[in-house]
Every structure is written in structure tokens, then in C-alpha cells.
Chain A
């Protein structure tokens, strides 16, 4: 039973009733599935979810996020990940298991203000989310432009199977690292390409609710390239 139209919903509004699974941002009240936030309802394969239109970023396991180192203790760094929780990056993640606080200098590896691309390892909310920077495409970010968008608009920026972001990357000759928390790093050899990529991202952020956004972005990218 897919293909039911997406509907605008507000907290407390009944989306559907009957035997559906209440998923993301919905609750079951008696027989009804009720939205808990302002967003777009999506009924698909017997499950109901609401795509949020507002709100901050909540860390989820396996999310790629971009963070800024805010401080460190003798055992871990803390990183601002644009959320109500701070990311905890254990020193052993960088130095390996034989890390010793007396011999290894944490500041030499990551100093306050450094940007990192990290993956969330454990976000169970009982403590601050654990992040890691060991892995492909993870680690300290040395160059590029930091752009901040609303975390709710990240899926729109990526597009269906990455179509939107691929289009921007290929036509502006730039690389975009997207954090699920709404922080992006755009880098390019070509300063004009960089500028155009940022403009395209800003356009998407502004027009995220418009239907045929891909065409609009494509138009914008092509018009400026002449």
C-alpha cells in the first residue's frame, strides 16, 4: 500500500488509522497514528512516518557528521556537532589502544576549532554520543568552505539516490562532504566552482519545499557557467 499522497501534518493530527506501524515522529493513540511534529506524512508499506520540517539534529547511529573540536580532557575530545548533545571522541580512537595521556600530545593531533568528519558510533542518549574519525572519508578536514544548512533539508540536498548532490558536484567540479547534522564542507580547485556550489546549496536550503527543485538548480548551475 504505497503511493498514498504526502500530507502536511501538525502535532496531534491523526494521519491514518488501522493496522499501521508508527515509525519516525509518530505515536499510536488507540487505533490512530498521530503526528508529533510539523512535517510531511508518509504512509508506505504499512508503516507511517513524518518527515520533519523543523527542529534540530538528533544524533543517530552511523550518521556522518561534521563537528568542530570544542575542548579536550586527558582521555577524549569533545566536538560540537550542531546538536543538543556534544560528540565524544576518545583519544584511543586517534592514537590507538596504547594511548597514554603522559606521552601523547592531544593538541598536536586535534586542536580546539579543528573541523572533523566523524561517524556516530553510539547514540543511545544515556550519555553523550560517541564518535569516531577512523574510517574512509573520515578524519580532520584541512581545506574547504564550511556551509551550514537546516538538518531537515539534508535529504533534499542529497536528492533521490544522491542525484542532486552529484549534479552539483559534477557541474561545479567540487567536492561536498555532507554531515547529517546540517554542516557541509565544500571544496574545489576552482574558486568559481566553489562559489557556484555554495550558491546552489543555499538555493536548495531556501527552496526546499518547491516541487521541481532539481530543474531549478540545474538551470541555475547552467546559466552561470556561460
Chain B
């Protein structure tokens, strides 16, 4: 699998990628916690050109009632792309892809969130992609775990997301849209940095066992970098200054 033909030079002779990054460099990530008033917890994340808003509600009553579980709380996630998030208008109805991403993000967050503490309730996570540029699932996952912490939902650890991949025969960190389209492989990783556990792992493309190992390694490294930014976002919101007016 060689990816699609493209005019873009994915990696030049100096090892610089199409957006000016080195192979092991992530895009610029900024996160702000607590941006929405009406949600219990929220976060806004910019992951390169990805812009995602996350709102968290709960724990709260489960509706419809039959979904509730007497042993544990449930986690429900909705990943949605705004019609204006991509070049061509995106139909706002949930697509196959969005249903899949909602599911994998839910499963990536579940090991972290301590749902057993709230039986018969639901925690709802709404992720709204305002602008997409490749790697939205990792960005949404990263934002969602900050929003959950902001809502005060007990978690074993934060979950940080970052993708690794392969483009122009080189292993790269944090795959952007061009590299995803024209590259050879994309491997999104969700990772709990303190527990050192992977909660999300997908692979689109073909990697040799050696490349796969390398991808995991730099992917985890990327997650650790993202985690530092998540940490800072929460610290900025809650511990910013003792003398706030």
C-alpha cells in the first residue's frame, strides 16, 4: 500500500515534513478547560489545525431508563463533525465513521473513568469537531479526558491521544491530514501516562513489525508530550492564582 498520489512532498531531503515539522515532532497543542457554562465539565482543544469542543454532563439520570445498569454507571460518547469542519460541507447526520469513532473513544475512556462509583447513572461526553485536519480522534480523546476531569468525575488517570504513522517511507509522529491521505500508515494511540497503559490502538495501512514497534514507541512519547499540556490546562483552570479577584 503506497498511499494516494500527490504533488505534496511529504518529507524533503532534510527530513522536514510538509508542514515544517521534524519526523518526531507533534503539532502545536493548546487546551483550555472549563469553557462552557452549562455543561458540568468542558474543554476546548486545538491540535494543530484541529479545533474541538467537548462538553461533559453527569453523572446524571439515565434516559432511556432501560440503558441504566444497577452495577455501574455508563459512559456515552458522541463524536460529531460540524458541517463546516471540512472543505466540502459535511452532512450533519451521524456517519458510519462518526459512529465508529464515538465507540472507540468511549472504549478508550472507559478504563480510566471510575464508573462503578455511580451505579444507575450516565456520564455523557459530547465532542464537537469544529475544524478537522487529520487526527481528530486523538484530539477528541485528549479533550474529552480533560473535560471529564473538569467535571470532577473520578478517573484513574488522564488519557492522552496522539497518532504515529508512516509517510514517504519514514516513521512519523502526529499524522496530519495530508500525511493521512497520501501517507502509508496511520496508527492512533490512546495512552494513560501514569499507569503506562494503552487504551486505544488502531492501524490503517501496512507496517513491518519493526516499523510498528517504532510507531508505538514514538506514539507513546507523543502522548506523554500531550499529557503535559493536559496537565497544564487543568492546573491553569483550578490552581492558576491564589489571589484571583
Q: Measuring CB to CB, which residues of chain A are less than 8 angstroms from any residue of chain B? A: 8, 10-14, 25, 27, 29, 34, 36-38, 52-56, 58, 84-85, 125-126, 152, 207, 209-211
Please give, as numbers and ranges, the residues of chain A lying within 8 Å of B70 by CB-CB distance.
126
Please give, as numbers and ranges, the residues of chain B lying within 8 Å of A25 by CB-CB distance.
154
B82-100 interface mask toward A, CB cutoff 8 Å, 1 = contact, 0 = none? 0000000000000000000
Known: A37-B152, A84-B58, A84-B121. Contact between A210 and B242, CB under 8 A?
Answer: yes
Q: A-B pairs with CB below 8 Å: how many?
A: 86
Option from B60, B153, B231 in Cβ contact (under 8 Å) with A55: B153
B195:A38 contact, CB within 8 angstroms:
no
Of the A-B pairs whose beta carbons lie under 8 Å apart in the complex, a sample of 29, sorted by A's number, is A10-B158, A11-B112, A11-B149, A11-B155, A11-B156, A11-B157, A11-B158, A12-B155, A12-B157, A12-B193, A12-B194, A29-B195, A34-B157, A36-B154, A37-B149, A37-B153, A38-B149, A38-B152, A38-B234, A55-B151, A58-B118, A85-B121, A125-B118, A125-B120, A126-B119, A152-B152, A207-B244, A209-B244, A210-B244
Known: A10-B231, A13-B194, A34-B194. Contact between A84 and B152, CB under 8 A?
Answer: no
Interface check B61, CB cutoff 8 A: yes
For chain B, residues 19 to 33, give those with C-beta under 8 angstroms from any C-beta of chain A.
none
- A152 and B40 CA atoms in complex are apart in Å by 14
A8:B194 contact, CB within 8 angstroms:
no
Option from B41, B60, B192 in Cβ contact (under 8 Å) with A12: B192
A56:B235 contact, CB within 8 angstroms:
no
A8:B235 contact, CB within 8 angstroms:
yes
For chain B, residues 129 to 179, give those with C-beta under 8 angstroms from any C-beta of chain A.
149-158
B interface residues, tally (CB under 8 Å): 36
- A34 and B155 CA atoms in complex are apart in Å by 10
- A168 and B188 CA atoms in complex are apart in Å by 55
- A200 and B117 CA atoms in complex are apart in Å by 34
Closest A-B pairs by Cβ, 5 of them:
A55-B152, A12-B157, A54-B152, A36-B154, A11-B155
Please give, as numbers and ranges, the residues of chain B lying within 8 Å of A207 by CB-CB distance.
244
Known: A12-B195, A54-B150. Contact between A37 and B60, CB under 8 A?
Answer: no
- A58 and B118 CA atoms in complex are apart in Å by 9
- A125 and B157 CA atoms in complex are apart in Å by 24
Known: A12-B195, A125-B119. Contact between A56 and B59, CB under 8 A?
Answer: yes
Option from A14, A29, A38 in Cβ contact (under 8 Å) with B238: A38
Option from A12, A53, A209 in Cβ contact (under 8 Å) with B156: A12
**B119 — nearest CB in chain A belongs to which residue?**
A125
Please give, as numbers and ranges, the residues of chain B lying within 8 Å of A56 by CB-CB distance.
40, 59, 152
Option from A10, A152, A210, A211 in Cβ contact (under 8 Å) with B235: A10
Known: A8-B239, A38-B234. Contact between A52 and B192, CB under 8 A?
Answer: no
- Determine how close the nearest CB of chain B comes to the CB of A187; give it in whole angstroms: 30
Interface check B5, CB cutoff 8 A: no
- Determine how close the nearest CB of chain A comes to the CB of B192; give it in whole angstroms: 7
**A210 — nearest CB in chain B belongs to which residue?**
B242
A34:B156 contact, CB within 8 angstroms:
yes
